Structure 1
């Protein structure tokens, strides 16, 4: 009887341990990862000051208020720090999810107030268009920076950087370098005050990724990039053969921007 009771107790204990382990694994699997934001980056090509004013007035008076009503918290509107010719207008719109992006697009179509306040832009005649063209890209946030981080509200310069890759696999590897490789952490530690990182899902010059960092002024810009290049952790990860720039990056585009006085970023 004693032996039978001992075997029974052992079986019950083993079953309990197994069940507990299974529950622990299930609980770990069910831990929700932070939802990744989506970003729409619009670049307006303009031919004159009148077009610039029309586009900026549209965002100031109509688009930003409407987007805020629909749950978009921060809309960034920027012009080039040193334009070649007439400036372009850059607009950054964050969405909580791809469904949010879809809902906002539909709701704008049915928003009478938005249409009325944005009429001059939305209904500009062919002879006097509001812009030459819009280039628009849809980006998905990186896992190690799943949501936009708005920098302190004071005068500053923004740098928008795009890294193009020769292949999809190289592009994914560069994203891995920013995430698991620890490159995003270096930017944050050094004080770049990054705003977002995003993989371009739809847009031109794919495969590419785009990110935005900020500086107090051009002196800080030079100082921070110098510190980045000499950072021991950066030297460590960039020396890994599979993370070499020559392997992962085929072209870098960099644009220095300043926010409009009504920009929410």
Structure 2
């Protein structure tokens, strides 16, 4: 009888342990936003500096969480790319309303735009955390890393299949080939269209990031996984990649 209960207890323990291992992580309830600033001609350095001196601090004042600030490694691409996090979509809207009417911010705009506007236009991407994402953590590493923003447009009806491939195979293979996972998100499309997968990886350098992906694509395990997962057609219609360097005030570096 003692052996029976010991075996039963052991079986329950093992079953619980296995369940804990395979159970998907619970994604954060935070609401995320990628904002891409396109400066007016000749105003690139000024808009980057305005964030350094003023904007990030006023964001924090209004409950916005600064996640990361980057500029493309392709210096012909004059953009500032950053991510903010909020407790919810409603909190996001309230924070931006308060920010826009803040006298401190209005004074900053008057001071920094005395010789003309700094921003031509802003692109916005709203997102929620995917259950395949690690916990999104700020912090710095030395030496400085290069980051890669990747956006996957799934084939119609293939988002779940794409996420399953990442969950079961891709993420492990990325780790195998020396890539560091920062975060994985699902977009919220304004038109109600199919969401996209957006994620950020970190590499020691752009050259090493590209070498890592070359090795990943040639990996026999990946070749087999890709072939099997795409028996009924490709899972994506478009893959976009931007290599980025963190600004000196980015919480993730």
Deviations 1:131-190 (A, max 9, x none): 1111101112210215324464232211111111231x12232122212x2312222333
The answer to whether residue 240 in structure 2 is matched with residue 253 in structure 1 is yes
Number of aligned positions between the proteins: 230
1:201 to partner: Cα distance:
0.9
TM-score normalised to the size of structure 1?
0.71
Aligned to 2:215: 227
Pick the structure with greater CA Rg: 1
Query: Structure 1 residues 63 and 189, CA, compared in 2 at 3 Å: closer, same or farther?
Result: farther
Aligned to 1:186: 173
1:130 to partner: Cα distance:
2.3
Match of 2:120 among 126, 129, 132: 132
The answer to whether residue 143 in structure 2 is matched with residue 160 in structure 1 is no
Deviations 1:194-249 (A, max 9, x none): 211111113599542211112112331233112212334323321214477x5211
Aligned to 1:56: 48
> Does the 8 A contact of 1:165 with 1:249 survive in 2?
yes
TM-score normalised to the size of structure 2?
0.74
Deviations 1:43-70 (A, max 9, x none): 11123332x2443234223332244456
Match of 1:263 among 236, 247, 250: 250
Q: Unaligned regions of 5+ residues in structure 1, if any? A: 1-27
Aligned to 2:80: 89
Find the residue that maps to 1:45 and give its secondary structure. Answer: strand
Q: Unaligned regions of 5+ residues in structure 2, if any? A: 1-18
Query: Structure 1 residues 174 and 45, CA, compared in 2 at 3 Å: closer, same or farther?
Result: same
Counterparts of residues 1-265 of structure 1 (less than 5 Å): 34-36=26-28, 37-50=30-43, 52-69=44-61, 74-84=66-76, 87-95=78-86, 97=87, 99=88, 101-110=89-98, 115-117=103-105, 119-121=107-109, 128-145=116-133, 147-150=135-138, 152-154=140-142, 155-167=144-156, 169-179=157-167, 181-202=168-189, 207-242=195-230, 247-265=234-252
RMSD over aligned CA atoms reads: 3.6
Structure with bigger strand share is: 2
